Amino acid sequence: MKRIGVLTSGGDAPGMNAAIRAVVRKSIFMGREVFGIHRGYLGLINGEIKKMNLGSVADIIHRGGTILLTARCEEFKTEEGQQKAIDNLRKYGIEGLIVIGGDGSFRGALDLGKRGFPVIGVPGTIDNDIPCTDYSIGFDTAINTVIEIINKIRDTATSHERTFVIEVMGRDSGWIALESGLAGGAESILVPEVKFNIEQICDKLLKGYRRGKLHSIIIVAEGAARGFDIGEAIKERTGFETRVTVLGHIQRGGTPTAMDRILASRLGAKAVDLLIQGERNKMVGIKGKDIVAIDLDKVLSEKKEFDFNIYELANTLSI
C-alpha cells in the first residue's frame, strides 16, 4: 500500500488533530504518501483531496476541532455517493482510508469496506459511545471542560444557595454525565441508561437542605431528559430557587487534554500500521493499556457498555 487517505467525519472532537498528525507522520515515516480528504464523506464525493506532508500537520497537536473539516453527508448513504467516493479515491491512487469519527462515520466506512475498499476506523467522539474501546478521542477533554464549568457554577450556586441543573451532551449515551458528575461531585446524575425518579431526586435534595447544604448540582445527560424540564420539576416539588445551564457545543471545543493527545497519537499510528499490514475493515481502540483492533462489523453490531459500578459509586458518594 503506497498511498493512504485520511478524513474526519461527524461531530468534531478535541484530539482529532492529534490523530490526523499521527496518521500523516506515521505514514511518511513508513515511506508512504498520505492524502487528506476535506469535509468528510462530502469532500470525498466532491473530490476535495490534497496531498499532505510533515509541515501540513505542524503546530496542530494542541488544537481542538479538525484541520480537515468535517460534515454530515446524506448523499454518501446512497450507492451512487459511495461509488463516486471510491472513484475519487482510485483517481488519486489511494489504496486505504482511515476514518476518524463516531459510529455514523464507521457505518460509512464499512459501506466502503464492503465494496472492497480497505478502511480503518479511529474512534473520535466526545460521547464515548463507541463499543469495543474503553475511550474515544475527545471524551477526556469534554469531561474536563464540564468539570471546569461545574466548579464555576458551584461558586455562584453556593453564594445564592441555589439548585443548579446542568445539561450535558452525549446523544443517547450517559458517559459524559456519568464521569463529569462523579468528578464534579454532583448530587444526582441523570443518564439514559438508568430510569430516574424525580420524587427520589427531590427527596435527596430536601434531605441535604435539612442537613444545611447550601447548594446542589444535578447533571442531566441530554439523552435522559431536558435540563429545563428537570429544573421546573424540582422547583415545583421543592420550592428551591433553581437555575438551568445547557452546556451545548462548548463541550466540543478547546485544547485537547494530554490523555486525548496521547490516545489520538497511539490510535492514529496503529491505524496506519494495520493498513500497511494488509488489515481492513477494523477499528482501533484502547482496552486497558493496550491498543487493539476489532472488526468494524462487530463494533457496529454492539452497544457501548455503561459502567453501572461508577454510577453506583457516584450515588454512594453523593448521599
Kind of pairing between the strands at 282-287 and 216-221? unpaired
- With CB under 6 A as the contact rule, which of the stretches 77-85, 123-131, 208-216, 258-266 interacts with ligand F6P? 123-131
Bridge partners of residue 99, in order along the sequence = 7, 121
213 is in an annotated binding site: yes
Residue 285 vs residues 20, 237, 291: alpha-carbon distances, Å: 16, 44, 6
Residue 166 DSSP SS3? strand
If one asks whether residue 34 binds ligand F6P (CB under 6 A), the answer comes out as: no
Catalytic residue annotation: 127
C-alpha cell at position 279: 488489515
CB of 171 to ligand F6P, least distance (A): 4
127 is in an annotated binding site: yes
The residue behind cell 481492513 is: 280
The residue within the footprint of ligand F6P, chosen from 36, 108, 170, 256 (CB under 6 A), is 170
CB of 290 to ligand F6P, least distance (A): 26
224 is in an annotated binding site: no
Half-sphere exposure (CA, 13 Å, Cβ side) for 100? 41
The DSSP letter of residue 217 is: E
The residue within the footprint of ligand F6P, chosen from 171, 215, 282, 304 (CB under 6 A), is 171
Residues 242-301 that bind ligand F6P (CB under 6 A): 252
C-alpha cell at position 255: 485544547
Burial code of 184-221, b = ≥16 C-beta within 10 A, e = fewer?
A: bebbbbbbbbbebebeebbebbeebbeeeeebbbbbbb
If one asks whether residue 127 binds ligand F6P (CB under 6 A), the answer comes out as: yes
Binding site for ligand F6P (CB under 6 A): 11, 102, 125-127, 169-171, 222, 252
Instruction: List residues forming the annotated binding site.
Output: 11, 21-25, 72-73, 102-105, 125-127, 154, 162, 169-171, 185-187, 211, 213-215, 222, 243, 249-252
Instruction: List residues forming the annotated binding site for Mg(2+).
Output: 103
